[in-house]
Homo-oligomer: A and B are copies of this chain.
Amino acid sequence: MSLGDKKRERGHDAMSSTKDIGPQILLAHGAGGELSRQLVENIFFKYFNNETLKPLADAAVLDFPGCRLAFTTDSFVVRPLFFPGGDIGKLAVCGTVNDLAVSGAKPLFLTASFIIEEGLPLSVLEQVTRSLGETCQTAGVKVVAGDTKVVEKGHGDLIFINTAGIGLIPANLDLGQHRLAPGDLVIVNGPMGNHGLAVLLERENLGLESGVTSDCAPLNEIIAKILEKVPGIKMMRDLTRGGLATAVKEIALGAGVDIWLDEPSIPVDDEVRGALGILGLEPLYMANEGKFVVFAAPEDAPMVIDIMANDSLGGQAAIIGEVTKGRGNVLLKTMLGGTQVLDLLAGDPLPRIC
Contact = CB atoms under 8 A, between A and B. Distances in A.
Interface in A16-48: 20-31, 36, 39-40, 43-44, 46-48
A16 to B, nearest CB: 9
A241 to B, nearest CB: 9
Contacts of A156: 155-157
Given A1-B211, A50-B142, A73-B164, 18 more contacts: A1-B271, A6-B201, A14-B82, A15-B158, A21-B124, A23-B122, A30-B116, A39-B148, A46-B133, A47-B130, A52-B144, A62-B166, A64-B66, A75-B113, A75-B149, A111-B164, A149-B352, A152-B351
Interface of A: 1-8, 10, 12-15, 20-31, 36, 39-40, 43-44, 46-50, 52-53, 57, 59-60, 62, 64-67, 69, 71-77, 80-82, 87, 108-109, 111-127, 129-130, 132-134, 136, 142-152, 154-158, 160, 162, 164, 166, 168, 201-202, 205-212, 271, 274-275, 348, 351-352
16 contacts: A1-B212, A1-B275, A7-B209, A14-B80, A14-B81, A14-B127, A15-B81, A27-B150, A40-B146, A47-B134, A48-B132, A48-B143, A50-B144, A53-B146, A73-B164, A115-B115
